[in-house]
Structure 1
């Protein structure tokens, strides 16, 4: 008699936040066969996923109760607090043994608070912000920076692998968010330099595309150069990562740096420039619209 082979049932995932990046991330999870429940404040943003088979939940509490794993990809630290805390929040309504993963770029101190409160409820919490923008989300090639316990990370790695390809446990709770701040700080002067370089090429009468062909494989080469410079040249400022969100991230990084008595003049300058652009009406555009500051 042949032994009957049973396949392990995939965990039900609850996904909160289906914006530019969240929608693609949730889509990959569904495509991989995970049952998906979704919630977002603007239901229309989840319509496409619902048509593909996701189950819409009208509240955070209902989504949490129906899920084994909760993933959040939302806006600000204030939004994260609202979703995770309180009687209607994730932590209060999660079953013991549930995994909660905040992939929002948020405060390291808030990630630690979520971890500690979740632990009291026998819930496993990871902070796992990402980098790679809309392109990385669509192609499932996000870099995922994780903070939390090793066992929780190991158990969630199959899910992370569906959304990204550079996934590293950076340390205890909050370490993922601290790593994302390193990422955001490094981008700030890079974007300024990239804009200055393209403006120089233009003033010198050079062909921008030809210049990129020469410098992209040398010491000047970078992800930003390869992905943002072509958009700048074409005048395509659609938001893979919007200026308003980057301003939020830079403020978190600046606050965290100040708490460690660290000065970050490059970050401070970039923040001033982006805030001026936002005041001029560019806050919904991608961060590569910084070129408009120079024009």
Structure 2
């Protein structure tokens, strides 16, 4: 099915810019947000015609959800907006929220009975890359579909993850890995500094060791914390949310999985002390006792 008319639900910090990319690519957009001010600003900045997507539901080919969690996704589809009852057959719903994989599977099963196609595609990269259209997208639920590819490429790079729920799973697990590596580095560099090792010797040693060559080191440690730059654009609250999803998934399939539980507890403690909207790089203050 050709995708022309898209309902975009969730014009928050990231969704606002993502929806604007669709407008630029000449898709017909039906935006919606429970925050009426967000919706007003979107119409004011894009100058598109104001239309209620529920009043035009028969035109909608694809619905994109960029909301906080599985709860909101479930409410929009089955309760508040009742998309499952109103969308035409073979229409598409893409959940780009940070949702729980097991809930995604339940929603997909229900929608399949209604002949509505459901895919998961959470994003990584934060507001910075939402603005530039350079997000990383974890897509689950189907093989490559040219119409879906055209839509998603408006937002960034697509990583194909497999069956439904795999996108939400891999995004959470990926951030669990990142959180684990970040805290491993923080424990090590805090120890090095307290031992009296100078920063330039520390960086030189890590740079020449094979264990030092990874994304969290270059982006978060070397160019971030060690340069006293604590603005990665990703909050402790969001990181904790992802690791919680990963931890729940890991415990379902792996016995005695202590690493994810320990990282989750550390993040929760840090969030309580530093504030949920603190940048993830301010975890260094916890390790260095500078709070």
TM-score by length of 2: 0.83
Task: Report the counterpart of residue 121 of structure 2 in structure 1.
Answer: 128
Alignment of 1:211-226 (within 5 A): 211=203, 215=207, 219-226=211-218
Offset at 1:103? Answer: 0.9
Contact 1:216/1:222 (8 A) holds in 2: no
Offset at 1:205? Answer: 5.3
Alignment of 1:104-253 (within 5 A): 104-150=97-143, 153-168=145-160, 170-200=161-191, 202-203=193-194, 204=196, 206-207=198-199, 211=203, 215=207, 219-229=211-221, 230-233=223-226, 237=230, 240-253=233-246
CA distance in 2, matches of 1:24, 1:14: 14
Equivalent of 2:279, from 261, 267, 286?
A: 286
Offset at 1:11? Answer: 1.0
Offset at 1:210? Answer: 8.9
CA distance in 2, matches of 1:266, 1:63: 48
Write the deviation string for residues 184-216 of structure 1: whole angstroms up to 9, x where unpaired.
Answer: 221221120232344346444534799389739
Task: Report the counterpart of residue 81 of structure 1 in structure 2.
Answer: 74
Offset at 1:66? Answer: 5.1
CA distance in 1, matches of 2:39, 2:28: 15
Change (3 A) 1:198 1:282: farther
Change (3 A) 1:216 1:76: farther
CA distance in 1, matches of 2:248, 2:240: 12
Change (3 A) 1:171 1:101: same
Contact 1:29/1:159 (8 A) holds in 2: yes
Unaligned runs of 5+ in 2: none
Matched, 1:273 2:266: yes
3-state SS, counterpart of residue 106 of structure 1: coil
Offset at 1:45? Answer: 3.1
Offset at 1:72? Answer: 1.0
How many residues are aligned here? 284
CA RMSD of aligned residues (A): 3.0
CA distance in 1, matches of 2:38, 2:182: 30
3-state SS, counterpart of residue 79 of structure 2: coil
Equivalent of 2:47, from 34, 49, 53?
A: 53
Offset at 1:281? Answer: 4.4
3-state SS, counterpart of residue 162 of structure 1: coil
Unaligned runs of 5+ in 1: 1-8
Contact 1:238/1:285 (8 A) holds in 2: no
TM-score by length of 1: 0.82
CA distance in 2, matches of 1:44, 1:187: 35
